[in-house]
Amino acid sequence: MKARKLLMIPGPIEFEPEVMLAMSIPTTSHVAPDFIDSFGNSLELMRKVWQSPSGQPFIIAGTGTLAMDLAGSNLIEAGDNALVISTGYFGERYAELLKRYGANVDILKAPLGEVVPVDKVEEKLKSKSYKLLTFTHVDTSTAVLNDPKPFGELGKKYKVLTILDGVCSVAGEEIRQDEWGIDIVLTASQKAIGVPPGLALLVASQNAIEAWKNRKTPVGNYYADWGNWLPVMEAYEARKPSYFGTPAVNLVVALETSLKIILKEGMENRFQRHRKIAKAFRSAISAMGLKMIPVSEEVAANTLSAPYYPEGVEGGSLLPEITKAGIIMAGGLLPDIKTKYFRIGHMGSVNQSDILGSVAAIESALLSCGYKIKPGIGLVAAQEILNQ
């Protein structure tokens, strides 16, 4: 029997074999011609995946939180006003992060499982002058999905820089950075981008770069300072050697491989696959009688789901049973309700059999925990959508 379990958590995810193979090349010099080419290609491919032909991509060793830090530290000066739209744990993190750089932060917090209505955001933007606005495309703690378009429009209307935390969405949820007018779209390698953990990825609009150039004070974070990294990105893209901090050589080669796989599938096909798989999974969950954190289909993410444990079933007993059935899922993340729900990542390379296996594992685990359902009820619901 295969000992390996299927990893269905919201990052790290299951990676494509070609990506893992690319990781295993002998590490070259960071200024070897082949590596310079890989780095340059990756920057160019990022613009396509982000759908931002005019943007400036950055590839820097670190995690998604560094990507958040890059945007925050380069764009905030002490005393600037920032508006954080929070739909969960990562919204709260962004507020904390911006405060470190001296921002006056206002938070608009959505009720659990909901988004903040656009008119509430506009009201706030009318009330005072903000330098930037952040929102989480998919908050990984709640599986709530924000529609980025209105944020882009409001950013333009009120001359506020918009930052999309896309760590749980880029290359899974629909994103058109240029068309939607979003200034920063950031992510990390280990989620829907499909590369092992260790890269912070970000595309900045020319508008955001301009705002950084017009700073009056130095960036308060030495490692994250675009002044150190922009020349490196420009050099690699011009296929020239450069150095500020040693790039994560093997991860960058793997990134190039994964971006090629993503673009070969095509962005529209990829968004559609995520939508269909997520819809099938949500349908299965509700057929099993479980409730989800997102209050409606409109605000439900396509990259992960967050169901509550049913009455009488404890997470402490359900998750180990799911593991026994061969699938790893994640517990809750939002402090107040951490023990009341679990999370299933379905992004990146996820396919039909992964999702059916996951539904079957949840069914078996529920039955072993004494929760009464008709075996197969979730599978039928999922199949109905998958076979459409």
Ligand X SMILES: *Cc1c(COP(=O)(O)O)cnc(C)c1O
Contact assessment for residue 166 and residue 185, using Cβ atoms and an 8 Å cutoff: yes
Give the nearest distance from C-beta 91 to ligand X in angstroms. Answer: 9
DSSP letters, 267-280, are HHHHHHHHHHHHHH
Burial 278-292 (b: 16+ CB within 10 A, else e): bbbbbbbbebbebeb
State which of residues 97, 115, 167, 171 lies at the interface with ligand X (CB under 6 A): 167
Annotate each residue in 282-321 with x if it binds ligand X (CB under 6 A) or - if it does not, as one string: ----------------------------------------
Among 8, 11, 205, 379, binds ligand X (CB under 6 A): 11
In whole angstroms, the minimum distance from the beta carbon of 260 to ligand X comes to 22
Which token pair is 203?
């595309």
The tokens for 40 are: 């340059």
Binding segment toward ligand X, per CB under 6 A, in 163-171, 202-210, 249-257, 321-329: 163-171
CA-to-CA distance for 216 and 18, rounded, in angstroms?
46
Our CB check for ligand X shows the closer of 35 and 281 to be 281
CA distance 347 to 330: 14
Residue pair 140/343 in contact (Cβ under 8 Å)? The answer is yes
- 45 touching ligand X, by CB under 6 A: no
| Site for ligand X contains 60 (CB under 6 A) | no
The stretch near ligand X (CB under 6 A) out of 57-65, 146-154, 218-226, 283-291 is 57-65
64 makes contact with ligand X (CB under 6 A): yes
165 touching ligand X, by CB under 6 A: yes
Give the residue among 322, 327, 48, 285 at the shortest CA–CA distance from 143.
Answer: 285
In the bound state with ligand X, the residue whose beta carbon lies nearer, of 63 and 286, is: 63
Query: For ligand X, which residue of 28, 65, 81, 228 counts as binding (CB under 6 A)?
Result: 65
The only residue of 15, 39, 90, 101 in contact with ligand X, by rule CB under 6 A:
90
Which parts of 171-200 interact with ligand X (CB under 6 A)?
A: 188
* Of 266, 305, 344, the residue nearest 14 (C-alpha): 344
**Token digits for 72?**
């925050």
Give SS3 for 195: coil
- 65-to-69, 90, 165, 187, 313 alpha-carbon distances in Å: 6, 9, 10, 9, 33
Q: Which is nearer to ligand X, 200 or 262 (CB)?
A: 200
Q: Which is nearer to ligand X, 36 or 270 (CB)?
A: 270
Q: Are strands 81-86 and 304-305 parallel, antiparallel or unpaired?
A: unpaired
Identify the burial level of 293 via C-beta atoms within 10 angstroms of its C-beta, where 0-12 means exposed, 13-18 middle and 19 or more buried.
buried
36 vs 347, which CB is nearer to ligand X? 347
- Least Å distance between CB 213 and ligand X? 26
Q: Is 92 in the site for ligand X (CB under 6 A)?
A: no
Q: Considering the complex, what minimum distance in angstroms separates the CB of residue 64 from ligand X?
A: 2
Site string for ligand X, 98-137 (x = CB under 6 A): --------------------------------------x-
Does 140 participate in binding ligand X (rule CB under 6 A)?
Answer: yes
Query: Going by C-beta distance under 8 Å and a sequence separation of 6 or more, which residues neighbour residue 115?
Result: 87, 144, 145, 146, 147, 299
Cα distance between residue 307 and residue 34, in whole Å: 45
77-85, 107-115, 164-172, 338-346 -> range binding ligand X (CB under 6 A): 164-172
Q: How many residues bind ligand X (CB under 6 A)?
A: 12
Report the nearest approach of ligand X to the CB of residue 104 (Å).
22
Residue nearest to ligand X (CB): 64
At CA 120, angle to CA 117 and CA 123, rounded to 5? Answer: 150
Tokens in use for 293?
């954190």
Q: Which residues are near ligand X by CB under 6 A?
A: 11, 63-65, 90, 136, 139-140, 165, 167-168, 188
